Structure 1
Amino acid sequence: MDSHPDAVRRLAAERRETEQRLAALTGDFTAIVDASADSNADDEHDPEGSTIAFERSQVGALIVQAREHLAEIETAERRVSDGTYGTCERCGKAIAPGRLEARPVARTCIDCARR
């Protein structure tokens, strides 16, 4: 992991932020579910029901995105460990440092990402 110390640091920071976001979202989701369970809200007939269902769906989608991002981070960490971090998975060329700084989990160079 020493060949990319900046990547290790950025990925660790991104992992912490994503785990914190996931914990907050999970708490929000639980609160929404608990609130709807405590009320007599009927998603189909109660005017508030559709709002609760929408919020639950929206937070659920954000949880899925956060989990997927954690998986991307884990994959990037493995690439650092095996020495393939910073190499485009499609063309084999180096990924620009600026791209990796902006998106530490990037697996492709900008040219391949555009395709």
Structure 2
Amino acid sequence: MTERNQDATFSPSEQAAIRELLDADRRMTAARIAMLGRDRDEIVESSALTAPDDEHDPEGTSTAFERAHVQSLLDQALAHLADLDVAFERLCDGTYGICERCGQRIPVERLMALPAARTCVTCASGRR
């Protein structure tokens, strides 16, 4: 990793826009987590009411697959929420917008598209 030589300071308007994006993303992610949790609970509840032979589900998918799929989506949403929390911390401590791999500044356009981004495009693509 290179020495951190880029200034991560954002203008007040950029900070406000980033904070707003992080807040909106956090609200949407929290709503998604709630929805996926309800979906998972419904699958578990409905499978308790049916025969344990979910390999022969008349709709063509196994209950175990559906439960695993929803759990995977839930895990991804929880990880994204944790990434958003880290992004908020980094915004507060002045390290937001600095690539965690190479130490270069992450372009504000990338941060606007992916507010929780921790790496620059080059590092994210594995080219560095």
Q: TM-score higher than 0.5 here?
A: yes
Q: Over the residues paired in the alignment, what is the CA RMSD in angstroms? A: 1.7
User: Deviation of residue 39 (structure 1)?
Assistant: 1.3
Q: What whole-Å deviation, never above 9, does each CA across 1:83-110 have from its counterpart, x for those lacking one?
A: 1111111222211111101100111111
Q: What does residue 79 of structure 1 align with?
A: 90
**Pick aligned residue for 1:68 from 59, 75, 79:** 79
4+ residue runs over 4 A deviation: none
CA–CA separation in structure 2 for the residues paired with 1:71 and 1:32: 25
Q: What does residue 116 of structure 2 align with?
A: 105
TM-score normalised by structure 2 residue count: 0.81
TM-score normalised by structure 1 residue count: 0.90
**Pick aligned residue for 1:47 from 56, 59, 63:** 56
**How many residue pairs align between the two structures?**
112
CA–CA separation in structure 1 for the residues paired with 2:122 and 2:66: 37
CA–CA separation in structure 1 for the residues paired with 2:65 and 2:103: 43
Secondary structure of 2:95 counterpart:
coil
Structure 1 gaps, min length 5: none
Deviates more, 1:81-90 or 1:18-27: 81-90
Structure 2 gaps, min length 5: 1-10
Which has more helix, going by share of residues? 1
